[in-house]
Amino acid sequence: MDDQSTIGELARAAGVPTSTVRFYERAGLLNPAGRTASNYRFYDDKAVDRLRFIKAAQASGFTIGDIRALIELRDGTSAPCTEVQALIDTRHAQVVRQLDDLRRVKDVLESSMIMCREAQREGRCEVMERLERAEPTRGAQPSRQRGKSAKS
């Protein structure tokens, strides 16, 4: 990359679409070095390294918030090992909980499939009947995609 690269050149150098660069900018993880006279963003040589760091951190399971903290630690003056370990511990605990939840969902789906296949022989759907009879559990919320309303 040259001293001043466009968003397209940066994206190509890092192997990502330009929309990813813009997303990271909006998330506060990456900033252009400045603007040209015609108001286009330009990036310095450090931007591709930062972009690769962000991609590697995401691939390692870190969230955008985690990556923001990692970048702050990386750009700080002291060795951030203790803080990075705390981030890893927190993220690891979240992943373990998610895996436990997914295993429970997997078990329910597998048993539901067995139940459904057996009841199908009788011309009915046991799973639908059970869902219709089910009482909502305390604190249960309607299923929806993250960050979207029920109407979306």
At 147, the pLDDT band (50, 70, 90 cuts) reads very low
Q: What mean pLDDT comes out for the span 58-82?
A: 85
- pTM, rounded to two decimals: 0.63
From residue 117, how far is each of 63, 104, 114 by CA, in Å? 40, 20, 5
pLDDT of res. 10:
93
pLDDT of residue 112: 86
pLDDT at 104: 95
Query: What mean pLDDT do residues 84-101 have?
Result: 93
pLDDT of 148? 44
Q: Is the pLDDT of residue 18 over 90?
A: yes
Asked if 67 contacts 29 with a C-beta cutoff of 8 angstroms, the reply is: yes
pLDDT reported for residue 139: 52
The predicted structure's pLDDT at residue 136 = 67
Q: What Cα–Cα distance (Å) separates residue 102 from each residue in 2, 58, 99, 107, 109?
A: 46, 21, 5, 9, 10
- Window from 7-21, 56-70, 131-145 with minimum mean pLDDT: 131-145
pLDDT at residue 102 tops 50: yes
SS3 readout for 101-124: HHHHHHHHHHHHHHHHHHHHCCCC
What is residue 152's predicted lDDT score, i.e. its pLDDT? 41
